[in-house]
Amino acid sequence: MIIEQIGDIMIHFQEVESLYLALKDLSIGRLSHHLIETQILQDHLNLLGETIKKRNPRAQIVYPYVHYYYTSGNVASGFHKFRDENTLVIVINVPLTISDLAAPMQIWQVHTFPLLSPDNTAYYTELTQTPKFIIYSNENKYYAVSNDRQNLPCTHYERFECLFKITNSNLNLHPTFDESCAMSLFGTDLIAIKKTLCLSRDI
């Protein structure tokens, strides 16, 4: 009987310690599986994903599995008081995207330099009016450009680099099939580059 009581006390102590550590993580915006079990969170992510598809077939969850939310997710919390009871409210930010932007995109920084003419004369040619940054992936149907590093609409995460907010006014999406300076730079056709807004100048 005494051994059973000691066992119950140890289990209760471990539960209290787990809850304390989970609340400590929550205070700095980290989610613990001691507060929300992995299977419960995954079930809710699956339900959310199905609901999103019904409302907007093109939309989807960026991270549909629980690992992200326990390691790098952005979590907020607060207490809701009703009468004599306090309820802990946990808000988990679930980033969304559209299917055409599902693949990770890279930020390309454009550097231009003078190119000596082939006839060895003293003339150099250099591209002008090119964008400073191109956000692009050949697996996506859209891309974006920016001329200022500070205007890159990037929300940084420790393990997943950054996420882009499509609604950000600094980020305009363009179809990859358009004849633009940015898209011509990813090709090897010099004529196409000259036809776009990548104007050149002689030095």
Distance in angstroms (rounded) separating the CA atoms of residues 23 and 32: 8
If one compares 195 and 68, the residue with the highest pLDDT of the two is: 68
Distance in angstroms (rounded) separating the CA atoms of residues 29 and 76: 6
| pLDDT band (50, 70, 90) for residue 81 | low
State the chain's mean pLDDT as an integer: 77
| pLDDT at position 46 | 95
Indicate if 32 and 110 belong to the same structural domain. no
Work out the average pLDDT over 90-108: 81
Instruction: Out of 99, 133, 148, pick the residue that ends a domain.
Output: 99
What percent of the chain is modeled with pLDDT above 90? Answer: 7
Number of domains comprising the chain? 2
| pLDDT at position 37 | 86
Distance in angstroms (rounded) separating the CA atoms of residues 76 and 79: 11
Range of the structural domain that residue 174 is part of: 103-202
| pLDDT at position 50 | 93
Indicate if 71 and 90 belong to the same structural domain. yes
The set of residues, in sequence order, having a beta carbon less than 8 Å from that of 170 and lying 6+ positions away, is: 146, 151, 152, 153
Indicate if 95 and 39 belong to the same structural domain. yes
Looking at this protein, which amino acid is placed at residue 99?
A: S
pTM: 0.55
